Amino acid sequence: MIKYAILGFGVVGGGLAEVMADQREKLAAAAGEEMELGYILVRHDYPDSPWRDKLVRDFAVIEHDPDVAVVAEVIGGVGPAYEYSRRAILAGKSVVSSNKQLVAEHGAELAALAREHGVSYLFEGSVGGGIPLLRPLCRCLAANRIDEVYGILNGTTNYILTAMDQRGRAYADALRTAQELGYAEADPTADVEGIDACRKTAILADLSFGRNLSPEDIPSRGITAVAPADLELARAMGYTVKLLGRAARTEEGVCAFVEPHLVPESHILASVNGVMNACAIRGSAVGEVVLCGPGAGAHPTASAVAADIADAVRHRADPQVPDLGTPGDKPLPADELCSRWYVRAKCGPEAVSAAFPGAEPVYGSTGECGFLTAMLDRRQLEKKLAAVDGRAAYRVLA
């Protein structure tokens, strides 16, 4: 019987062991054979765990067991996760992962290594948690030139923005609630500054455009500066505020960035609230599809990782390695991308008209106004902001 190992026994690792046990029969049908949990790599003792017989502290035990065909890396971060992933592939084992940082930073290298060693490297759970997303993008939409991917890729920030929008909460207040509910970490930087969304945007761009982008080259703005007034003014104009990761093919190359956006209330993404995630994919044949669901959490993420384990077992004769692209030029400067903008400003309607002809300001309870501009790039926009005492400016999703 084929064995698999789980590296890491945190939230996702525990959920994965449960899901694999719960749906053992169905997963065996998907894999084409029975699969047995061989080991869970841990750093602490868990004497009361139902899997206590499977716990090991030394990765070499897993590495040297020839019956282990698949290793699920759910440690997170880069250090040991990267080292163990490499060693597993070198030992002829398929690796599946939900680790967006590792996939974004070293995925192309690990994919090349997997191809070289004839094993699978799959990472469905690294973007969008439980949402079927990467396999649909790469397999179901194989008949499409992908032109754009964009979406709500971080549940923590979407929870905070939803609380600010629906319950009028201030940012710091909504963040505190998110932390109390376990939706945000004690140090929320990676979420609220857009770093997590940036990694996922990099993975989506890599798979969509065949160019491996470094997350460092994707400019990312978070939500720390979004004010209740922005949500109030957006709503008055028929929009809501969402943090979007976007990557698009242009005539000159690939453009990718993470920024808060105004999304029209009629757009499906405007209905994606709380910790839900959603990703839109624009393809040459299909037009646009939108895939929504829980973007994080133990069981949703385990759902994705478990399916990858089954897929890796099923395809031992035909290893599955999605194409994360080859490194090349940097992405185009996002600031040069034109769009309409929302501006929050402190000035009278005459000043708005003078700087932004045709804009129609709406005034909110803070005395500030909001309005939408014509198509501009960021530099053109920023030149005009001083004239209206501009306090915030976000792109409008067309």
Active-site residue numbers?
200
Nearer to a second copy, 89 or 122 (CB): 122
Taking the complex as a whole, the smallest distance from the CB of residue 159 to a second copy amounts, in Å, to 15
Taking the complex as a whole, the smallest distance from the CB of residue 145 to a second copy amounts, in Å, to 7
Taking the complex as a whole, the smallest distance from the CB of residue 342 to a second copy amounts, in Å, to 20
Q: At which residue do the structure tokens 């004769």 appear?
A: 317
Four-point Cα dihedral 161, 166, 170, 173, nearest 10: -80
Nearer to a second copy, 119 or 392 (CB): 119
List contacts with a second copy (CB under 8 A).
Answer: 15, 19-20, 22-23, 26-27, 29-30, 32, 124, 130-132, 135-136, 138-145, 266-268, 270-273, 283-294, 297, 299-300, 302-304, 306-307, 310-311, 314-315, 317-318, 323
Q: Tell me which residue of 208, 242, 199, 248 sits closest to 223, measured CA to CA.
A: 242
Nearer to a second copy, 291 or 385 (CB): 291
Cα distance between residue 154 and residue 25, in whole Å: 32
**Is residue 252 exposed (0-12), middle (13-18) or buried (19+ Cβ within 10 Å)?**
exposed
338: Cβ contacts below 8 Å, ≥ 6 apart? 375, 376, 377
Taking the complex as a whole, the smallest distance from the CB of residue 25 to a second copy amounts, in Å, to 10
- The H or E element containing residue 204 is helix 195-209
Report yes or no: 126 and 85 within 8 Å, Cβ to Cβ. no
Cα distance between residue 123 and residue 296, in whole Å: 14
Please say whether the dihedral angle defined by the alpha carbons of residues 334, 338, 339 and 340, taken in this order, is positive or negative: positive
Output the CA angle 252-260-382, nearest 5 degrees. Answer: 70
Cα distance between residue 337 and residue 381, in whole Å: 11
Q: Is 226 left (phi over 0), alpha (psi -120 to 50) or beta?
A: beta
Q: At which residue do the structure tokens 């899997």 appear?
A: 51
Nearer to a second copy, 283 or 370 (CB): 283
Nearer to a second copy, 27 or 343 (CB): 27
Nearer to a second copy, 80 or 264 (CB): 264
Structure tokens at 187: 């140090």
Taking the complex as a whole, the smallest distance from the CB of residue 332 to a second copy amounts, in Å, to 22
Nearer to a second copy, 7 or 345 (CB): 7
Taking the complex as a whole, the smallest distance from the CB of residue 132 to a second copy amounts, in Å, to 3
Cα distance between residue 375 and residue 150, in whole Å: 19
Alpha carbon of 183 to those of 128, 160, 222: distances in Å?
15, 9, 16
Taking the complex as a whole, the smallest distance from the CB of residue 334 to a second copy amounts, in Å, to 26
Cα distance between residue 194 and residue 320, in whole Å: 30
